[in-house]
Amino acid sequence: MGGVELICNVTHKETGKVVIYVDKNGERTFFVHPNAAGIVDLPMEDKDFEEIDYLYLDPFPSDKSFAVHLNLAKKAKKFKTFVILNPGFPYTSLGFEKLSELLKYVDMLIMSKDEFLTLNKSEEEILKFVDYLIITLGKDGCRCISKIEGLKKIEKRAFKTDVVDSTGAGDAFAVGFIYGFLNNFGLEKSLLLGNYVASCNIRYYGARNFPSKKEIDEFLKKQAGR
């Protein structure tokens, strides 16, 4: 798989499932059946982190999820691994005091506007913990504040598109943004790429409508020509 090592651990006879109902405006309601996804078993040892440059954390549908991620983040920082957290409502609903226990070991925080408002904290207060804060703003695009660049704030408007199903839009944005960030495209281009991947995802039902590598290259080439 091109340098990708996939390590699987069977914990349940069924994989996690989510039944999603989408209304005419593309908004949705979730009914989660955790199954294997609710059984958190990640036996990562110190030697595993010796080969990891970046660690991406996203909540599991399990009461043990936060504790597991806190332990992993602590280990990651021992090896100077760059930690990215997409907390979602499962973690932001715990409150900022609890979330900050994890933020101490996080370099980049990616969250939605609603999740940000749930914390009832300013951008500056959050940036006391992380170096990068990225907030998705729905139809208004996204915003990034970088402590590395002297609290530089960058905003990018969303691409106009028909919204059929907003399921996975935040994850799709994260995929595009992180791809750009890891390839040293710079924050502005990475934000554009995040918006682009999210716009592709919401045009159709389901959360797996991602652009191909060829489409991404063509998009970046078009943006460079502007």
pLDDT computed for residue 2 by the predictor: 58
Q: Which runs of consecutive H residues, i.e. helices, occur in the chain?
A: 46-49, 65-78, 88-92, 96-103, 113-119, 123-126, 169-182, 187-201, 213-224
Which stretches in the chain have pLDDT values below 70? 1-2, 26, 226
The reported pTM is 0.90
The phi and psi torsions of 128 (rounded to 5 degrees) equal -70, -20
> What's the CATH class of domain 39-224?
alpha beta
Hey, where are the domains in the chain? 39-224
